[in-house]
């Protein structure tokens, strides 16, 4: 059984390649059967809101909305509490399957036995 993977993406469209890489790795890990938790922080918090991932475009990359859908469907997607608050994003604003949680939950996830954490 693959290890659990926690991915934190700290950027949005302003650093499109790095952002897309986090979603690509997360979706690939879900497809490989890993337990995946994707954290949306900073400007990436906006991708927890319906329609935002659909607006993202990066040439020669899988659509971000498809990658996000794969992770929502087979893993967990969480928006950082403080990041959401700074942007006026409430739990009711989020797409189905996305939640809001804070640093304590993130720390608990990354400190788990056999967890691999990546930050983009």
- Tell me the pLDDT tens digit for each residue of 42-55: 999 999 999 999 99
Determine the Cα–Cα distance for residues 30 and 11; give it in Å rounded to an integer: 21
Determine the Cα–Cα distance for residues 14 and 58; give it in Å rounded to an integer: 11
Average pLDDT value over all residues in the chain: 97
- Tell me the pLDDT tens digit for each residue of 2-21: 789 999 999 999 999 999 99
In the chain, what are the domains? 4-119 (3.40.1260.10)
The residues near 33 (Cβ < 8 Å, ≥ 6 apart) are 1, 2
pLDDT tens sequence for the chain (120 residues): 678 999 999 999 999 999 999 999 999 999 999 999 999 999 999 999 999 999 999 999 999 999 999 999 999 999 999 999 999 999 999 999 999 999 999 999 999 999 999 999
Task: List strand residue ranges (DSSP E) for the chain, in order.
Answer: 4-9, 36-40, 76-80, 98-101, 115-119
């Amino acid at each position: 059984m693959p290890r659990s993977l926690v991915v934190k993406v700290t950027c949005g469209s302003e650093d499109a390649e790095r952002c897309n890489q986090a979603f690509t790795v997360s979706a690939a890990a879900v497809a490989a059967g890993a337990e995946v938790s994707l954290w949306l922080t900073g400007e990436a918090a906006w991708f927890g809101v319906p329609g935002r991932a659909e607006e993202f475009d990066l040439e020669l990359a899988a659509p971000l909305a498809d990658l996000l859908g794969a992770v929502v469907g087979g893993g967990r997607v969480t928006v950082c509490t403080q990041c959401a608050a700074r942007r006026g994003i409430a739990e009711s604003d989020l797409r189905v399957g996305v939640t809001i949680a804070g640093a304590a939950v993130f720390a608990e996830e990354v400190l788990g036995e056999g967890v691999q954490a990546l930050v983009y």
